[in-house]
Chains A and B, each alone.
Chain A
Amino acid sequence: MNRVVFIFLLVVLSALHCGCWDRVEIDDLELVIGDAHDLADYAGKTGVQTTFQIANPQAMISSQGAMSGGRGGGEGGGSGSGTFFVVSERGESIRDSVAKMNYRIPKQLFLGHERVAIFGEKAARSGLTPFFDRLTRSRESRDTKFIAVSKGNASRILEQESPVSQSTAQALNTIFENKDGWQGILAVNMADFLYRLGTGVTSPVAPLVEVVPQTSMTSKEKKEGLSNTVALTGLAVFDTHGRLVDTFNERETMGLMWVINRVKNRALTIPHVAEGKAEPVSLDLTKAKGKIKVDIEDNGLPVFEIKMQTEFDLLEHFSKHREMIDVGLIAELEKTASTQVINEIEAVLKKSQMLGTDVFGFGEEVRRQHRRNWPQYKEHWRDVFPIVNVAIQCETRIHNRELSVEPPGSRTEGEWR
């Protein structure tokens, strides 16, 4: 009996005397939800500027009662009592700059809830690889964290107040989480990016974010001048060493998404010629599948074949003509859609071959399908890729047309016969 008591006390005291090293009260934490990294001058050399967007829970609680619509930001009072605030610091490395923030932040930084990392243009051009070390080594970071590249300085993105949500980091996170694969939105997380870097021949990509003027504002906002927001404007393309090379526009991004099977939701608008005029028909994607096949030609160069299979529903015929009843017309539309898809893929193919960046993963496909020949290409892939031939095929099917048989107003009484 005494022995039990003794051991029990031993255990209890040994565990109690510390004060418990990892115990942190939740209200002693600064909850960071987004970070931005830039290259900046520091102590005469090139250093890192890290910006954090940090939540202010107290303001959220008190503004929760007052909030009606969704306008966060400075509604509940002047500066400093907004629901998020931004801190920025410079240092030699990321960890260094974060350490320097301690002088101006009251609580302990907590990065466990971060979801988005934004890199500045200059940092991206000089190479993102050194930035990733801290982001992968840290036990608070996750591989599911989303990456974006900003035009200009990344800190501007976080400093921008968002008129459509509580904070820009949260807005970006929500877009990436919910709209990955919609139109030209390609969400890239760290696992994707690092995988591509690891192959040595595939070019990583990341979405491009910019501060842009807001397109519609209430009259109050026009007076106050709350005129900017943050939007995705393209796709940043890197070389195999993680250096930013160029950007794709919307069309090229969408073309890339076809090939790498990342399209989830797409409204494809194709022209349909009726009575001499070209009218837009909008199709909604239901399924898309792309396959890459590689063959080695006699001259030793690989030749690629991209086979796309897409299925759509007809969602809008912006016209007043009545021909949609005709089944033959559907076949025509399918052909036009295929051509459109092929055009988009050709656009991105042309640009990436011009840049010498293999964004499709062609190199990896050669490695998987022709493992014996791969070693001879691996070293020179950057030169081989721009000259390979790529044949693109697309098969489209259009299924249903929602709730209308033909556009209203295209027919009047007595015209059915």
Chain B
Amino acid sequence: MEPGKISERQLAFLITAMLVNTVIFLMPQLGARAVEQDAWLTALLGSVWGIFMVLVIIALARRFPGHTPIEYLPLILGKPLGKILGTIYVFWFLSVGAVIVFEFTSFLKITIMPKTPLAVFMVTIMVLVYYALRSGLESWARVNEILLFVVLVAIAAVIILPYNNLDFSRLLPLAEHPPGLLISTSIVSGSWRGEVILAGMLIPALASDRHTSRNLVLVVLLVGFLLAAMEVSTTAAFGAIPTGQKEFPFFSLARMISIAKIFDRLEVLIVIALVLGTFFKICVFLYCSVLGTAQIFGFKKFQFLLLPLTILMIALALNSFKGMPELTDFATNVWPGYALLSFELVIPLLLYLIVILRSRRVRKS
């Protein structure tokens, strides 16, 4: 499982795959419920939060080149506190990964194969994740480089192809809701963008570091744009209220594609394309969990951790939620606090401030 070296482009593609996949089929419903037709504005605002987080994590990475966040936490906060926070972070990686596995497999089960037990989806995809991780970071980053194109084409197809059924006047009036509400919803939206801090765990594996911050900012903007476009399309197709009433507006929108009787009923293909993308998202989360665990305990060779952590993630995923209602509730109420407001933005920001203050103090004396 040696990490090898990945290129900057591969990192950017991985982060894109990571950010775009789950948000695209959860957020439109949540956005519509909170701010109706202005959901797309919150998607773009969420990118602003995302850019913040990119800048923070890159700044920290520059201060500690060649180190992952788990490695430099003890350097900033001292060994005991750093290790404890590191362990919490690793658990955060693991639990969020489990949530993602659950939500994605639920999505698959509900939309495509309803009678198949959830565990089957989880085990099959995790076995493949295990196989991928065993081969080393470089190889699955390489496959993602090839496959991301498919995922993006599928998403673009869902946004653009139902143009016959889109009525853009349903997006008016613009910004009908108070700015405060828009901003608080953008926090929910931005929390998904905040998963970009996992890039911090991958940056040490980069072969060269010239354009990383530019790339990641572009990735965040792109994902924000795609999400906004998705919300525009779903609102234009169904209207704001019905969008909030559907569990998966993305899927319902994919069903509306109907061109010349050939490009009809393609929603299954779109969902399968998403499988190809979400697979790599899960790979990133598991990889960060394994790497983080190894770094906390100081293991140099950590192949043996892979199997137990994979099984642990499956177990967590199976037990995380009872079903989609609980998950949606989690996503609206718990997730902003569990993610953006703590692990993704606030804590890294505080860490960076500590680093700056400390270096200033050193300079003074």
Contact = CB atoms under 8 A, between A and B. Distances in A.
A15 B113 CA distance: 14
A73 B298 CA distance: 77
A68 interface: no
B173 A371 contact: yes
Contacts of A367: 172-173
A15, A21, A198, most chain B CB atoms within 10 A = A198
B165 A144 contact: yes
Contacts of B239: 191, 194-195, 198-199
A178 to B, nearest CB: 11
A15 B240 CA distance: 41
B165 A191 contact: yes
Interface stretch (B15-23, B251-259, B357-365): B251-259
A22 B242 contact: no
Contacts of B176: 371
B242 A14 contact: no
Contacts of A368: 169, 172-173
A142 B256 contact: yes
A195 B239 CA distance: 5
Contacts, number: 64
B170, B176, B239, B241, most chain A CB atoms within 10 A = B239
B238 A22 contact: no
B255 A7 contact: no
B120 to A, nearest CB: 7
Nearest to A361: B169
A22 B114 contact: yes
A11 interface: yes
A195 B242 contact: yes
A53 to B, nearest CB: 20
A139 interface: yes
A21 B245 contact: no
Interface residues of B, number: 29
B255 A144 contact: yes
A139 B114 CA distance: 9
B113, B115, B127, B242, most chain A CB atoms within 10 A = B242
B125 to A, nearest CB: 11
Nearest to B171: A368
Interface in A2-29: 7, 11, 14-15, 18, 20-22
Given A14-B123, A22-B113, A194 B173 contact: no
A56 to B, nearest CB: 22
B115 A144 contact: no
B117 interface: yes
B117 A7 contact: no
B171 to A, nearest CB: 9
A139 B237 CA distance: 18
A10 to B, nearest CB: 8
Interface of B: 110-111, 113-117, 120, 123-124, 127, 165, 169-170, 172-173, 176, 237-242, 245-246, 252, 255-256, 258
26 contacts: A14-B120, A14-B123, A15-B124, A20-B116, A21-B113, A21-B116, A21-B120, A22-B113, A22-B116, A136-B245, A136-B246, A139-B111, A139-B114, A142-B255, A142-B256, A144-B255, A144-B258, A191-B165, A191-B242, A194-B239, A195-B170, A195-B239, A195-B241, A195-B242, A367-B172, A371-B176
Closest 4 A/B residue pairs (Cβ): A198-B241, A195-B239, A368-B172, A21-B115
